[in-house]
Amino acid sequence: MENRKKIKLTAYEVREDERIFFEEQAKLLNLEIIYTSETLNRKTLALAGNSIAVTTLGQSRIDKALLTCIKQMGIQCVATRTVGVNHIDVNAAKALDIHVSSVNYAPNGVADYTVMLILMSLRKYKQALFRINVNDYSLSGLRGKEMKDLTIGVVGTGSIGKQVLKNLAGFGCELIACSRHEAEDVKDIARYVSLEELYALADVISFHVPLTDKTSQMVNRNSIQSMKDGVALINCARGEIMNINDLIEGIENQRIGALAMDVFENESGIYHHDRKNDIISNREMAYIRQFPNVITTQHIAFYTDAAVQSMVNGALVNIVSAVHYGVHKIETVLSC
């Protein structure tokens, strides 16, 4: 790397916990990096003057107009430090010959967090915690369920869904799964069924699907009606796969027994920000979290030291690969 010309790039949405990994990779990969905590937009794009690449997280909205400006500035690469690319107009980037890359990280962190949310939901941890805080040590209403007595369904058996099933295998529960692509190693621990059958059989359903036209709003009034009474729903995927108003209805009429969500529709600009002194215009978020059987967290299932390092390293390696080896001529979206 020492013999190659230094690559200049601008990193947007940089958190303090990412800086150490950026600085380590800058030395290893011969990079000159401009840092900002701001999102990438028309105004902040000026910070990327003379940069050949930019990297962002998922709060930036990189549409065709912004990509056109990026192209005009001579920027060749947009590397998102996220797995999903739904915040980027990938088709527009391809038409403009701008390389777009995403990253992968080990599934363990999200899978571990998913199992934690399942256990918290089944053992009514939120209700118990609230009581402790006001010196109420009563038992009424806190009786939980044991996983060995339940059927747990996993929708989507990519790397994260597969790891969730592996984590759950030791609890003695019956495991069923539904996925567009069936994995042979999953069949050793779970039984593949149709989505309709999974909804009908599962006491707990955990979703691990990407956000696409087919998965958007897949949990809605109709699908909830096809589930078991008192079902527990877990979402560590994307908020948009669930229709929030239909979820509220399902909780209020007690079709849904428990709900745990690490993600939320229209969370951008709220999650990962300090908004304690602000008026937040997301009524559904404010309303749904008041239910005793609903757990919400601020999109942190991914947030481990190993994952953060992998996301930064992956984005920077993708940029180097595109600039030095012309990977963007081969593939529009690269997962490292």
Active site residues: 238, 267, 299
Q: Is the CB of residue 239 less than 8 Å from the CB of residue 262?
A: no
What does the alpha-carbon distance between residue 208 and residue 272 come to, in Å, rounded to a whole number?
A: 21
What is the edge-to-edge ordering of all strands in the sheet holding 31-35?
A: 31-35, 7-11, 53-56, 77-80, 99-101
Q: Token pair of 85, please?
A: 């690319």
Cβ(120)–Cβ(147) under 8 Å?
A: no
Eight-state DSSP code of residue 89: -
Angle 269-274-276 (CA atoms, 0-180°, nearest 5)?
Answer: 110
151 Ramachandran zone, left/alpha/beta (phi>0; psi -120 to 50):
beta
Query: Is 137 in contact with 131 (CB distance < 8 Å)?
Result: yes
Residue type, 45: L
Distance of CA 189 to the CA centre of its chain: 25
- Computed on alpha carbons and rounded to an integer, the radius of gyration of the chain in Å comes to 22
Q: In what order do the strands lie in the sheet with 231-235?
A: 191-192, 174-178, 151-155, 204-207, 231-235, 256-261, 294-296
Residue position matching structure tokens 């390293």 = 313
Both tokens of 247, joined, read 């979820």
Nearest Cα neighbor of 57 from 284, 277, 307, 236 is: 307
